[in-house]
Homo-oligomer: A and B are copies of this chain.
Amino acid sequence: MKTTILINCPDQSGIICSVTGFIQAKGGNVIYLDQHVDKQANIFFMRLETDFNGSDQFSATTFKEEFLSSIAAPYKMECEIYIDTVVPKMALFVSKYNHCLYDILSRYKSGELHVEIPFIISNHEDLRYIANQFDIPFYHIPISKENKSAAEDEQLKLLKEHQVDFFVLARYMQIVSEKIISHYPNKIINIHHSFLPAFAGAKPYHAAFKRGVKIIGATSHYVTEALDAGPIIEQDVATVSHSHSIKDFIAKGRDLEKIVLSRAVKLHLQRKTMVYNNKTVIFA
């Protein structure tokens, strides 16, 4: 059985030795270890992949309990332990743009993403045909100024009923309010169509065109209450020139957006992301 362990705690001497020694004592083998120390914040971060295959008596529950009491508690660790036989559940939120949805669903269908997709939510009917193409349940929950709170209740109900672990705003053109965010801290992945922090907010390609930039970008980040200001997971860029119109920016941007979002989703699924101080540690 494989487990992935994510740790952070105040930095001090001896952590790596203690953790790896504990795993070894329990019959596990460390097959990957990456660590990082933020020297300004004095925080230690570590990600381990361990293999207990040789250990036929391994109980994930027992291991977790013992790890928490013997290691995590004395070092004041926050830690997460994932068992790779548990498949996470990911919901998708979309509006009218289809490129990110198509990209995620085709990867999903190809077995590229180790995930279940219980449903797609949209405030528009436009992309139902894609949900149908891929046999994923599609819930149309219209949103207006007046019904926003009720609509979000409906969204929350679906998320809870299906025990969704995290969800992805795949060019969802509504602002998700604190009511939902508070239930899913660092569990909502957004794609913003600019190289943040440049051009936060609406119409970034128009703003980039007006400014005359020579490079455009896309940014995937965890959603926080501050608009387009959450911890950045992944960014990428493409060159543009005076010869490109806003329409060209948008077309080039589509390719960036879908690739950057899918990379972020994969990193999240592989448990390679940790968040602190509104920043991420992204393990290799």
The reply to whether B32 and A37 contact each other, CB–CB distance below 8 Å, is yes
User: Contacts of A251 on B, CB cut-off 8 Å?
Assistant: 112
The reply to whether A34 and B34 contact each other, CB–CB distance below 8 Å, is yes
Bound Cα distance A262, B255 (Å) = 10
Is A174 engaged at the interface, CB distance under 8 Å to the other chain? Answer: no
Closest-by-CB residue of B relative to A230 is B212
The reply to whether A284 and B24 contact each other, CB–CB distance below 8 Å, is no
Is A227 engaged at the interface, CB distance under 8 Å to the other chain? Answer: no
Known: A232-B211, A232-B214, A235-B214. A242 touches B280 (CB 8 A): yes
Q: Could you say which of B39, B98, B217 contacts A110, with CB atoms under 8 Å apart?
A: B98
What are 28 A-B interface contacts by the 8 Å CB criterion? A13-B24, A14-B20, A17-B20, A17-B24, A34-B35, A39-B245, A98-B106, A98-B110, A99-B110, A102-B109, A112-B254, A133-B133, A195-B215, A196-B211, A196-B213, A211-B232, A212-B231, A212-B277, A212-B278, A212-B280, A213-B235, A214-B282, A215-B217, A215-B237, A242-B282, A255-B259, A255-B262, A259-B259
Interface range for A: 35 or more
User: Contacts of A199 on B, CB cut-off 8 Å?
Assistant: 197
Known: A110-B99, A278-B212. A21 touches B21 (CB 8 A): yes
Closest-by-CB residue of B relative to A51 is B13
User: Secondary structure of the A side of the interface?
Assistant: mixed
Closest-by-CB residue of B relative to A197 is B198
Is A152 engaged at the interface, CB distance under 8 Å to the other chain? Answer: no
**Highest count of chain B CB atoms <10 Å: which of A199, A211, A262, A281:** A211
| Binary contact track A5-35/B, C-beta < 8 Å → 1, others 0 | 0000000011011001100100001111111
Closest-by-CB residue of B relative to A275 is B212
Is A58 engaged at the interface, CB distance under 8 Å to the other chain? Answer: no
User: Contacts of A213 on B, CB cut-off 8 Å?
Assistant: 196-197, 232, 235
The reply to whether B242 and A36 contact each other, CB–CB distance below 8 Å, is yes
Closest-by-CB residue of B relative to A217 is B215
Given contacts A99-B107, A214-B282, 13 further A-B contacts (CB under 8 A): A13-B29, A16-B20, A102-B110, A103-B103, A103-B106, A133-B134, A211-B232, A214-B232, A215-B236, A215-B237, A243-B284, A255-B259, A259-B259
| Binary contact track A94-122/B, C-beta < 8 Å → 1, others 0 | 00001100110011011010000000000
